[in-house]
Chains A and B, each alone.
Chain A
Amino acid sequence: MSESASETDRPHDEGDELEYRTVLDAAVDAVIIIDGRGLIEFVNRAAERLFDYQSDELLGRSVNILMPQTLRDEHDGYLQRLQRTREPHILGIGREVSAQRRDGTTFAVELAVGEIKGKTPRFIGFIRDIADRQRAENDVRQMRERLTHFGRIATMGEMAAGIAHEINQPLTAIATYAQACQRLLTNPALSMADIVEGLTQIEAQALRAGEVIRRLRSFVKNHEVRREPLDPNQFIEDLLMLAQTDTRHHHVQIRLELGEQLPAVQADPVQLQQVVLNLVRNSIDAMTDVPHAQRIIVLRTRRDENGDVEFMIADRGPGLEPAAREHLFNPFFTTKTGGTGLGLAISQSIVRAHGGKVWYRENPGGGACFLFSLPAMQSK
């Protein structure tokens, strides 16, 4: 077939022509043949249907009318370079690109291009509509994001008592300063400096309460997933306020062991917070029977042997039963009464989506120890 198709310098053999048209018309995928200048020589039935053109409307026209405007110049550039260098750059299989129908609407396609060798080169493109596949992938992604969001709301629900406490603190300080200022104002030996100090503190504490609420809102808001470079230690420091909202209320101390000179990681900060807060929650719950003075959670960052950044959340609870370890990351598996069993499953899916992994090990000094690692960003 390629032999006869390459014979462009003499009329095509009618029989061959008919044969390959028949074959290509039977194909499910759209097939388009263009010459070296990008002019369409042939389209099959599936291509007519896919792009909503009749075959004779396309023949002899530039193939770039089947592309959105943004891709046309790029494509023309390829062809010009090809004519100069005779080296094809656009060959290959399975590229996902955007295509355009007659009515101007665009849609996602998978494109495979082959070269038909001859005196002048020609190219054959196989085009598959992947809108359905993309839609399905989108649905899955949205579902995962919704579940992740749900996980954050659930975590927030479990943190409610701590949150109330954390907002009550600045409110108490504000009320106390305000009452003291009123007292001072009725005192004949009034000191303006004292009043100013009181008012300054009231302002600072009101802002503090607002900051707690702002962080909670941004944590629980359904946000656009967005990867950005994060300094691992800065990330942990930023997270501390939310984490302590929970830990303080349960008499738990957080100890930081932050590694030095860590590379950045590429991550969605809210989702990563979710992973750590969820693990901190689990640790808090694991230590309800531990005496207060021993309720400690260690947050550690370090660079591991592979150069990845490793985060560790370790507690002094009873650790996990061997049987529990197996199912740890399975959805709906929980050792807590009232637990959803989704926390760890969601955490794992977040970490994996970031190209990392999460695992469990016993804390050598007793207790549970969760670790996850994320790839380091190149070039610090």
Chain B
Amino acid sequence: MQNNTHSHQPTVFVVDDDAAVRDALKFLLRSVGHQVETYASALEFLDAYRDDRPGCLVLDIRMPGMSGLELQEQLVGRRAILPIIFITGHGDVPMAVEAMQAGAMDFIQKPFHDQELLDRINQALTKDAEMRQSIKGLNGIRERLASLTQRERQVMNLVVHGKANKVIAGDLDLSQRTVEIHRARVMEKMQASSLAHLVRMVIEIGEL
């Protein structure tokens, strides 16, 4: 419900079972102008978080009930892209390594220097924005691809495989003129500025 209002400004989500640490992080992050939401448990966060909300997750690795690592696993499982910065205590390095192997962006040991944490949060927010941008781009390509007719799709597949119009006409049993018309429609619908651009888009969405 509140997602619409938040969907453009990124949020730093803080999950820590310790109220004092949670509130301190909120206090610090607000003091530098971040939008912050705090959660006392992994489950509480999982229930509330929608994958389309941009931002990053600052996550305590050690929590009763569902641990930080288990929350990470759940998020990976549902293909959420939210970057995760783990906060760890002393002696939690082995767990932190495990978290990094599972794709965590970073970890930071308690107590931390504020600048160190803020730098990492900024990096994470940048990464999240880039990821969302590129996903948005890919989704755009997929949508445009879906708008092609079957015949246009056939023509495009042969074009991106480097076939000349004459060869395509022969393969598809069409006149060369018809192929040229389809080809022009493909470039237009795919918003491709050049053949190279078209090829890159098809590669990006893994169709080539």
Contacts and interface: CB of A to CB of B under 8 A. Distances in A.
Given A170-B20, A252-B64, A201 B111 contact: no
A197 B27 contact: yes
Given A164-B89, A173-B20, A183 B111 contact: no
B31 A194 contact: yes
B149 to A, nearest CB: 51
Nearest to A294: B65
Interface residues of A, number: 34
Given A251-B62, A252-B64, A177 B27 contact: yes
A172 B109 CA distance: 10
Contacts of A295: 64
Given A168-B111, A248-B64, A292-B66, A180 B20 contact: no
A161 interface: yes
B25 interface: yes
B31 A248 contact: no
Interface string B156-196: 00000000000000000000000000000000000000000
Contacts of B18: 169, 173
Could you say which of A184, A208, A249, A251 has the most chain B C-beta atoms within 10 Å of its C-beta?
A251
A165 interface: yes
Contact of A253 (B28, B64, B112, B114): B64
A164 B24 contact: no
Contacts of B24: 172-174, 176-177, 180, 201, 205
Contact of B89 (A165, A180, A197, A252): A165
A176 B27 contact: yes
A319 interface: no
Given A173-B24, A176-B25, A179-B113, A248 B67 contact: no
B118 to A, nearest CB: 9
Contacts of B199: none
Interface string A332-362: 0000000000000000000000000000000
A176 B64 contact: no
Interface in B3-51: 17-18, 20-21, 23-25, 27-28, 31-32
A172 B111 contact: yes
Nearest to A182: B114
A175 B111 contact: yes
A293 interface: yes
Given A164-B89, A165-B89, A183-B32, A176 B21 contact: yes
B64 A251 contact: yes
A176 B111 contact: yes
A313 B21 CA distance: 30
B114 A179 contact: yes
A66 to B, nearest CB: 66
Contacts of B21: 169, 172-173, 176
Contact of A247 (B64, B66, B89): B64
Nearest to B17: A248
Contacts of A183: 28, 31-32, 114
Contacts of A204: 20
Contact of B20 (A194, A198, A201, A292): A201
A171 interface: yes
B90 A169 contact: no
Interface string A183-206: 110010000001001100100110
B111 A253 contact: no
B77 to A, nearest CB: 15
Interface of B: 17-18, 20-21, 23-25, 27-28, 31-32, 62-67, 70, 89-91, 110-114
Please name the 6 residue pairs, one residue from A and one from B, whose CB atoms are nearest each other, closest first: A179-B114, A176-B24, A173-B20, A180-B28, A173-B24, A175-B111
Given A183-B31, A251-B62, 15 more contacts: A164-B90, A169-B21, A172-B21, A174-B24, A174-B111, A175-B111, A175-B112, A177-B24, A183-B28, A187-B31, A194-B27, A201-B27, A247-B64, A253-B64, A293-B65
